Every structure is written in structure tokens, then in C-alpha cells.
Chain A
């Protein structure tokens, strides 16, 4: 059970160990039937086939399993939501509203802060435009109000 929490690397190492062990065992059996150690190992390896391909095919099983579990979870979620349509509708509506409001706010903020009006600083009419929008302190406002009037 605890093996489930080990990562992919651990599983790869275990698969390697599994295959290496089985190869050694097969070589041992051949050696006992009278083959030299070297020939036995060679024959086992030949009989085994492409180790990399075998590993690849086994890893594919893991990948498929992960996808299957994901699909299962999604199906389960959809089924649960269908069981309580009121809750589903409320959450979907809330999410839609939140996403919409966020987009609207960001659009406004983007226009104001990130993309101010495409006018260059230093030109007289531009300064006037800015001064009008931010009369921060009263004395400033008074001072600037003179400047605004053409």
C-alpha cells in the first residue's frame, strides 16, 4: 500500500530489478542444464528479447492506468453533480459570475494602469488632461484650475 506513494523513479528501479532478477534466474537454470555461465547468460538475454521494449510496454500500462483513474474521477464528479442539480447550478453560476466580474475589473484596470491613453508626455494639452483628473489637494486644484482654462 505504501508503494503507491513512491514516485515514478522508484517504480522504474523496481521494474529494472524485477527484470534483472528474472534474467539471472533464467541464466542460472540454463547453467544448471550444462551450459557455460557465459553462454547461459547470452542465451537468456537473447530469449528475453529487447529489455528496453519490455520496459516501455510495462510503463505504458502505468500511464494508461493513470489516465483511467483520472477518467474515473471525472465521471464520478459528473455523477455526483447530477445527483444534486441545485448545488451544481449554484456553483456553476457563482463560478461564471466570479469569472465575469474578474474579467470586467481587470479589463478596466488594464485600460487605466497598464495601457494609458496613447499620448506623449510634455505636450501642453496632455498635461492639462491629466491635471483635470487628479485634483488631489485643494490648493493644487485651485492652482491647476487656472492652468486648465485655455
Chain B
């Protein structure tokens, strides 16, 4: 499969960024677990593949924290699927994490340039 062919090219996800990526993905609308994983993979041009063992725990944790909510709806397979959506608290969290992330990227880029 093309998925496992170029696993060397993949980068490890920085700790703590998965939550931000999930929130960002759900900004485009409600999505089920598989959809979230696929969306992250697609928008990272296959560089990031989220392990299921991290994805579901993260989704459930975010839901418990009230940053996302879930409901069961019929999916494209015409089966019951759990759809996650961003809550108001989640939107706020995403905004604050996004600005923190930008700052971090800028700071690290600055340090690496001088090196």
C-alpha cells in the first residue's frame, strides 16, 4: 500500500500538537474519527499519519474536556457513526493554541537560523 511505502519520509508529531490538529480539522465541520485521521493525512501531504492508538484517546479526551461534542449520525456508509464537532470552548482553545504555536515556530526558527 502507498500508505506504508514511504514511512521513512514521515515526521513524528510533536507532543501536544495532536489536539490542536484535531481541533483544526473539525473547524471545517463535523467529522468521524476516520475522517479526522484522513483529513490530517491529506492536508499534511501524507507526511503525518495519526496512529489510531493516539487518535481515539485524543478524541475522547477532548470530548471529556468539553472542547468537542459528539453525536451519532448516518455516515457515507449509511451506518451509524460517531461525529465529532467543535464546541464554543473548542473554538476558543483552538485560537489560543494557534497563536501559541505561531510564536513557538517563530522562536524555534530564529534559534535555528543563528545556529
Residues of A within 8 A of B (CB): 14-15, 17-19, 21-22, 24-26, 28, 30, 43, 47-50, 53-55, 57-58, 60-62, 65
Contacts and interface: CB of A to CB of B under 8 A. Distances in A.
A25 B76 contact: yes
B80 A21 contact: yes
Contact of B56 (A21, A24, A28, A57): A57
B82 A18 contact: yes
Going nearest first, the 6 A-B pairs with the smallest beta carbon separation are: A22-B34, A65-B64, A58-B56, A18-B82, A57-B57, A61-B57
Nearest to B71: A3
B64 A62 contact: yes
Contacts of B51: 49
B32 A21 contact: yes
Contacts of B10: none
B60 interface: yes
Interface string B32-45: 11100000000000
Contacts of A24: 77, 79
Contacts of B64: 61-62, 65
Contact of A60 (B32, B57, B76, B79): B57
B109 interface: no
Contact of B33 (A18, A62, A65): A18
Nearest to B60: A61
A26 B36 CA distance: 12
A61 B61 contact: yes
At the interface, is chain A mostly helix, strand, loop or mixed?
helix
Contacts of B34: 21-22, 25-26
29 contacts: A15-B60, A17-B80, A18-B33, A18-B82, A19-B33, A19-B56, A21-B32, A21-B81, A21-B82, A22-B34, A22-B81, A24-B79, A25-B32, A25-B34, A25-B76, A28-B77, A47-B3, A47-B4, A48-B52, A49-B51, A49-B52, A49-B53, A54-B52, A55-B56, A57-B57, A58-B60, A60-B57, A62-B60, A65-B64
Contacts of B33: 18-19, 22
Nearest to B54: A57
Nearest to A43: B1
Nearest to B51: A49
Contacts of A53: 53
